[in-house]
Chains A and B, each alone.
Chain A
Amino acid sequence: MMTDNRKQVIPEDRTLQDRAYDLFGELLLERETAALLAEIDAEQARGETAKMDAFFVNQDVKNLERIRRHFARHRARVFFRETLPRIGQIAAIVIASVAVAGSVAIATSHTVRVQVMQLLVNIEEEYTELKLREDTAASFDIPAEWGGENYPSFIPDGFVLGAVHSNPGYSTVIYTDLIGEGRKLYFSELGESAETNLDTEASIIEPIQINQHQGTMAIKEGKISAYWDDGRHYFILITEGLDESVFLRVAEGVIRVR
C-alpha cells in the first residue's frame, strides 16, 4: 500500500540501512494505526466521544463541502483541459459531415422559424389594400422544444443556445458564451401555476417599462435581472456579463411566437 506512496517521497540520501528501517517504519505505522483504532473503539464503547463529537459539529459540514468543492474544481479542470479540446475535435468532424451531407443535414436542425410579418398598406383612390408580408430581416429561429408563447427575437452576437427547459406552466432558455468571458443569458416565461424566487438581495432596484408593460430591474455585481408581465404570463430575464443597454434590447425584443 504505502509502498507506492512512500517510494515517491523517499529522498535520494537514504542508505540501505535507512531503507531497512523504512520498512520497519511502515510496520510501525500500521501498528500505531491499529492501536489508535482500538483506542477509538474503546472510547466509543465507553461513550466517551463528547469531545470529538463537539469537534466535528462544525468540521463535518466544512470538510464535506471542501471535498465537494475539490471535485467540482477538478471537474472544471478536466473539462477545460481535456474534454473541451476533445469536443472541439468532435465538432470539427461534425462540421465536416455537414459539409458532405450538404443541405440535408442543415435541414434537420431542431429549430422553428418564427416569421415576423409586416403590414403592407396600399392606399388607392377607391380602397385601401392591406396585406401581410414576411419581414425576412426580422424573422428568427427558436428552439423546437420551446414550450412558451413568447421568445426573445434578439440575441446578442456570440451567444449560443445552451439549454431549453420546457415544462407545463414554465419554460426557460439559456444562452451561453463559452468562447468569450463566460457571459450567460436566461429567459423564462412563467404562467399562473408557477411561483419562483429571484435573488434581489443587496441589488439596485429600478422600475422599467418593457413593451409598455411595467417591470422591475435588479442590478448586482455584474448580474442584471428583470421581471415583467403581459397580463397572461410573467417573464424573467437574467444576464451575467452583458451591459444594461444590450440587456434591455433583449427584454424589449421578447415577442409572441405562438
Chain B
Amino acid sequence: MQNIDMNRIMELSATVLPLSILLIENDEDRQFLTDLYLQYRPLMYKVASQFFSDNYAEMEDAVSGAVERLCKKCETLKQVECNKRASYTVSTVRNVCLTRLREIGRQRRNRDYATDAETIDNVSDQEDVQDIVFDRVFASDLLDAFPELSEKDKDLIRLRHMDLLGYDVIAQQVGITEIAARTAVSRARSKLERLAMNKKRVENDD
C-alpha cells in the first residue's frame, strides 16, 4: 500500500512551475549558514551571556537576531576567510546585543560612566600626544596592556573601536552626554597607551 501525503504534493506543487529553478538556488547558502550556526553557536551563546548573563529570554533573542543578521550577510560571510568567521560572528552578536541594550535603555553593567566622564571634561585634547604615542607603541603592546584597563575603559574602547560606534551612540549606550563619551574614550585610550609604554619600559629595563 502506497502512502501518499497530499500536503507534500501540495508543497511540491508550490515549487512546481517556479519551481525546480527555485530549488537550485540558495540551498548551498542555506547549508553554509546551517554549518556556520552549528559550529559557532557556543560562541554566540558566550557573547550573548556576557551581555545578558542569565536572562535566557534576552539571550535567545540575541542569538536569534544574530542568526537573522548572519543570513542577510551570507554573501559577505562566504568571502570572509575561514579563520576570521568566528570574529565576524562575535562582532555580529555584539552588535545585536548592543542594539537591544539601547532599545531597552539599560546601561550595561551599571558602571558609573557619567561621574568619571564629567570630571574629565576639562582634560586637554590628547590627540597630539596620542599621535606620538601610537607611533611608538606597537599594536601588540596595546593588546598586551588591554587586560590591565578597568572594565569600564575596556568597554569604551570596545564600543568605539571594535563595534565602531559613533560617540552619539556610545553616549546613548552608557547613559552620558556625547561630549562626555568623547572625553571618556579619549581618556581610556590614553590610559591604555600609558600602560603599554610602562609595560614596554619595564620589559626593556629587565
In the complex, the chain B residue whose C-beta lies closest to that of A13 is B166
Given contacts A162-B13, A194-B2, A196-B3, whether A67 and B33 have CB atoms under 8 Å apart is yes
Bound CA–CA A30/B81 (angstroms): 13
* B202 in contact (CB, < 8 A): no
Given contacts A21-B189, A36-B43, contact A67 B30 (CB under 8 A): yes
Most A CB contacts (10 A, CB to CB) among B86, B162, B167 go to: B162
With most chain B CB atoms within 10 A of its CB, the pick from A21, A23, A76 is A21
| Residues 81-96 (chain B) with a chain A CB within 8 angstroms | 81, 84-88, 90-91
Please judge, given known A-B contacts A13-B166, A29-B91, A55-B45, whether A162 and B6 are in contact too, CB under 8 Å: no
Residues of A within 8 A of B25 (CB): 75, 78
**Given A11-B166, A193-B1, A193-B2, A184:B13 Cβ within 8 A:** yes
Determine if B5 and A197 form an interchain contact, defined as CB atoms under 8 angstroms apart.
yes
A160 to B59 CA separation, bound complex (whole angstroms)? 48
Kindly state whether residue A125 has any CB partner on chain B within 8 Å: no
> Taking the complex as formed, is B161 at the interface, i.e. its CB lies under 8 A from any CB of chain A?
yes
- Beta-carbon contact of A60 and B4 below 8 Å: no
Question: For B167, what are the chain A residues with a Cβ–Cβ distance below 8 Å?
Answer: 13
Q: Which of A161-186 contact B (CB under 8 A)?
A: 162-163, 165, 167, 169-170, 172, 174, 176, 178, 184, 186
Assess whether B26 is interfacial by the CB under 8 Å rule: yes
| B37 adjacent to A64 (CB under 8 Å) | yes
A28: interface (CB < 8 Å): yes
Q: Which residue of A5, A30, A64, A84 has the most chain B CB atoms within 10 A of its CB atom?
A: A5
A199 part of interface (Cβ distance < 8 Å): yes
Shortest Cβ distance from residue A43 to the other chain B in the assembled complex, whole angstroms: 8
On chain A, the residues within 8 Å of B150 by CB distance are: none
A4 CB contacts on chain B under 8 angstroms? 76, 79
Bound-state CA distance A6–B166 (Å) is 13
Residues of B within 8 A of A68 (CB): 30
- Known interface pairs A2-B84, A74-B26, A79-B22; A63-B130 also in contact (CB < 8 Å): no
Task: Find A25's partner among B19, B56, B162 (CB 8 Å cutoff).
Answer: B162
Q: Chain B residue with minimal CB distance to A167?
A: B2
B10, B23, B158, B189: the one within 8 Å of A186 (CB): B10
Residues of chain B within 8 A (CB-CB) of A9 are 164
Provide the residues of chain A in CB contact with B73, threshold 8 Å.
5
Q: Is B127 an interface residue (CB 8 A)?
A: yes
Please report which residues of chain B, range 120-150, place their CB below 8 angstroms from some CB of chain A when the two chains form the complex. 127, 130-131, 134, 139-140, 142-143, 146
A78 surroundings in chain B (CB, below 8 A): 22, 25-26
What is the bound-complex CA distance between A186 and B6, given in angstroms? 10
Among B13, B56, B161, point to the contact of A21 (Cβ < 8 A).
B161
Q: How far is the CB of A177 from chain B (nearest CB, A)?
A: 11
A85 to chain B, nearest CB (A): 13
Measured CA separation A2–B84 after assembly (Å): 8
CB < 8 Å neighbour of B5 from A15, A165, A196, A238: A196
Please list the residues of chain B having a beta carbon within 8 angstroms of any beta carbon in chain A. Answer: 1-7, 9-10, 12-13, 16-19, 21-23, 25-27, 29-30, 33-34, 37, 41-43, 45-47, 56, 59-60, 63-64, 67-68, 71-73, 76, 79-81, 84-88, 90-91, 127, 130-131, 134, 139-140, 142-143, 146, 157-158, 160-162, 164, 166-167, 189
Known: A39-B46, A63-B37, A63-B67. 15 other contacts (CB 8 A): A2-B84, A21-B157, A25-B158, A33-B43, A34-B86, A37-B86, A56-B45, A64-B37, A67-B37, A70-B33, A163-B12, A170-B2, A188-B9, A194-B4, A199-B6
Q: What are 27 A-B contacts with C-beta separation under 8 Å?
A: A5-B91, A11-B166, A15-B127, A22-B164, A25-B160, A27-B140, A28-B158, A29-B90, A37-B86, A39-B46, A55-B59, A60-B41, A64-B34, A71-B30, A79-B22, A84-B18, A160-B17, A162-B17, A163-B16, A169-B2, A184-B10, A186-B13, A193-B2, A194-B1, A196-B6, A198-B6, A199-B7
Residue positions of A touching B, CB distance < 8 A: 1-2, 4-6, 9-11, 13, 15, 17-18, 20-34, 36-37, 39-40, 44, 49, 52, 55-56, 59-60, 62-64, 66-68, 70-71, 74-76, 78-79, 83-84, 160, 162-163, 165, 167, 169-170, 172, 174, 176, 178, 184, 186, 188, 190, 193-199, 236, 238
